[in-house]
Amino acid sequence: MNSDSEQFGGQNSESELDLDQSCHSNEEGPLESASNQSVEVESVMSDDISSMSRPLRSSKNKASSCKSRQRKSPGTITVADTALRPKKGTTLFRTQRGSSTGSLEHLAGEEQEDNVFDCLEELAASGKMTSFRLPPLPTIREIIKLYNLRAQKQLSQNFLLDLRLTDKIIRQAGNLRNACVCEVGPGPGGLTRSILNAGVADLLIVEKDSRFIPGLQLLSEAAPGRVRIVHGDVLAYGMNTAFPAHIAKVWEDEPPELHIIGNLPFSVSTPLIIKWLEEMADRSGPFVYGRTRLTLTFQKEVAERLTASTGSRQRSRLSIMAQYLSTVKNCFTIPGRAFVPKPDVDVGVVHFTPLVKPHIQQPFKLVEKVVRNVFQFRRKHCHKGLEMLFPEAQRLRMTEELLRRADLDPTLRPVDISISQFRALADAYSRLCRENHTLFSYDFRDELRQKRHSYRQTKRERR
């Protein structure tokens, strides 16, 4: 990437930071509902069972117990699958409606466990459980403690633990109920919980760091049949066959029920969005299913460049490449202090919706070459960068011809060139390439390297 590729720094000076030390007091449990209920996990030892005030119920009262509980606290039972039935003597988590905290009860004996799960089975069979939310689980803070997770600076890892913010990110993606989602770089799984609680039908998780896989498997077990985990690099992962074919829609139709969501590491966010933009132009990868939408986090400066308008100081190569292919929205900014470890920069949430018809009807690589050359001298007149498209022997003549065909003022600065003017430049350059078949493959860097090599060789011969 050139200087406009926005390589990110902004990491803490330590290579590894303990996430547990900076978990915020406003971190929420994974099951906070619209009424701001929370779950407090308490440890209850098995030898305290005799002191528990709640009596055991006989199996004869299973149905009436279930109905009574449903009347008293509608909507509080959230597990709809008997695959989550624990073994005898294990600990169950339960929320209680009407109080700000929940309780952890240890149910002793097979009879009481059967009461709970038979009740859940009856509710599921009756259709009264219309929505699936994750059962109470250890908080992200507890997951970090449990697996001794530390952020690694070399991977640009910054984790978002505040579930109110992860829920806000998910709302920017739109309605995810019964949709398919690919989450990139989930880390300890904070954003993953918000995605699952939104009611998705199929969640594909792509995680490169093996340390996070056990915690993600815990979420997979809590949402049986809805989560798939891929341990690998998303830059090398192909999504063209990752989802069922029946969700695909014609490009000109409404976007499919498929979303890509991710809190991206700073070090991969720019090459990854360039990769997806190229696949968007080619209608490959996740875009074989139609105009797949993306909701991603970027360093604030990159988010501003992606959405910068003509004449803005933030206008860059990324601005043109993103905006000629999609509608780009800078949704909101997350302060750096909300992340663990705290980066030196804030983070922007950006939403992409592919356009039915791109503003520039030329191959992606041709457009990228023109835009890249223009912005390599962003503070100079545009003709300076355009000259680098042509061999030195023909440089001035062909640059003048390109500007004439595009009807472009050579004294314009790169940030002042609109999308429509870039379209004219790309069209004019495409015609010149058809007239000269070797022109598109020309790279001024190759010519420069060859000149340097010849100079060194001549210098050695003189010695």
pLDDT of the residue at 346: 96
197 labeled part of a ligand binding site: no
CATH topology for 364-449 is: Helicase, Ruva Protein; domain 3 (1.10.8)
Sign of the C-alpha dihedral, residues 391, 394, 399, 401?
negative
Pick the closest to residue 140 from 94, 194, 176, 103 (CA basis): 194
Q: Which of 300, 242, 296 is nearest to 273 (CA)?
A: 296
Average pLDDT, the chain: 78
Judge whether 146 is annotated as a binding position. Answer: no
DSSP 343-392: PSS-EEEEEEEE-SS-SS-S-HHHHHHHHHHHHTTTTS-HHHHHGGGS-G
The residues spanned by each domain of the chain are 3-21+148-354, 46-126, 364-449
What's the rounded Cα separation, in Å, for the pair 388 and 390? 5
Assigned CATH for 3-21+148-354: 3.40.50.150
Residues paired with 103 in a beta bridge:
94
Q: Which residues are bridge partners to 204 per DSSP?
A: 182, 228
Q: Is the pLDDT of residue 177 over 90?
A: yes
pLDDT digits (tens, 9 = 90+) for 308-317: 999 999 999 9
Residue 255: its pLDDT value, please? Answer: 98
pLDDT tens for each residue of 322-370: 999 999 999 999 999 999 888 889 999 999 999 999 999 999 999 999 9
Answer for the pair 292, 29: CB distance below 8 angstroms, yes or no: no
Is 302 a residue whose pLDDT tops 90? yes
Q: Which residue has the higher pLDDT, 152 or 6?
A: 152
Confidence of residue 80 (pLDDT cuts 50, 70, 90): very low
Residues 102 and 93: beta-carbon distance below 8 Å? yes
- Confirm whether residue 311 is marked as ligand binding: no
Percent of the chain that is helix, strand, coil (3-state, to 5)? 45, 15, 40
Query: pTM here?
Result: 0.70
User: Is 115 marked within a binding site?
Assistant: no
319 has a pLDDT exceeding 50: yes
* 254-280 tens-digit pLDDT: 999 999 999 998 889 999 999 999 999
Is 26 annotated in a binding site? The answer is: no
pLDDT band per the 50, 70, 90 thresholds, residue 156: low
Q: Do strands 258-263 and 180-184 pair parallel, antiparallel, or not at all (unpaired)? A: parallel
Higher pLDDT, 196 or 42: 196
Structure tokens at 207: 């995680």
Flag whether pLDDT at 445 surpasses 60. Answer: yes
Average pLDDT over residues 147-174: 83
